[in-house]
């Protein structure tokens, strides 16, 4: 009996690709904020991937108009890339704060936020941020919540 053959190229998963794009943009943005520049080797170290994988992804980001890329030069984000990076960082920070507010330790909240941030609907994020604002102005909310 003949085995079925798999296609030579797999169909790209847009959700997975978006997750990777957001991770790379957030990492590039963070490096630029802390070091003043972003290089492939630093991105590889932060994302725990090989440098050739970073180069391939950076070329894709460049083709998408999200970064300015020249070999052997520091990366810069385009206006579009900067906007996406800031939004991705905002999602991550809001979800992390929300989880910590519920009593989750920082390390766990950060890890969980990394997975959640790529799948959260904008409306959900808006409600989380609204709740965070409420909680910051009503310090006894958690006491009421914990006793219910």
- Beta-carbon contacts of 91 under 8 Å, excluding residues fewer than 6 positions away, are 117, 120, 125
Nearest to 90 by CA among 60, 61, 128: 128
Considering Cα of 14, then 20, then 24, then 29, what sign does the dihedral take?
A: positive
CATH class of the structural domain 86-141: mainly alpha
Provide CATH 1.10.10.10 ranges for the chain: 14-80
Q: What would the two tokens of residue 91 be?
A: 């999602």
Separation CA 85–CA 131 (nearest Å): 23
What is the second-level CATH architecture of the domain 14-80? Answer: Orthogonal Bundle (1.10)
Per-residue pLDDT of the chain (148 residues), as tens digits, is 444 443 444 444 444 588 899 999 999 999 999 999 999 999 999 999 999 999 999 999 999 999 999 887 889 999 999 999 999 999 999 999 999 988 899 999 999 998 899 889 999 999 999 999 888 888 787 777 667 6
Q: What is the pLDDT of residue 17?
A: 81
- Ordered DSSP codes for 75-105: -EE-HHHHHHHHHHHHHHHHHHHHHHHTT--
Q: What is the pLDDT of residue 25?
A: 96
Provide CATH 1.10.60.10 ranges for the chain: 86-141
What is the Rg, in whole angstroms, of the alpha carbon atoms belonging to the chain? 19
Q: What is the pLDDT of residue 14?
A: 44
Separation CA 77–CA 20 (nearest Å): 16
């Amino acid at each position: 009996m003949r085995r079925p053959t798999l296609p030579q190229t797999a169909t790209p998963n847009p959700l997975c690709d978006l997750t990777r794009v957001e991770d790379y943009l957030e990492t590039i943005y963070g490096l630029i904020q802390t070091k003043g520049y972003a290089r492939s080797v630093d991105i590889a170290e932060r994302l725990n991937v090989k440098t050739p994988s970073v180069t391939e992804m950076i070329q894709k980001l460049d083709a998408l108009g999200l970064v300015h890329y020249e070999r052997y030069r520091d990366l810069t984000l385009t206006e579009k890339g900067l906007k996406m990076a800031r939004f991705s960082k905002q999602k991550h920070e809001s979800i992390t704060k929300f989880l910590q507010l519920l009593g989750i330790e920082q390390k766990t909240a950060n890890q969980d936020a990394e997975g959640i941030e790529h799948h959260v609907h904008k409306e959900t994020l808006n409600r989380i941020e609204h709740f965070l604002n409420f909680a910051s102005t009503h310090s006894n909310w958690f006491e009421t919540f914990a006793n219910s």
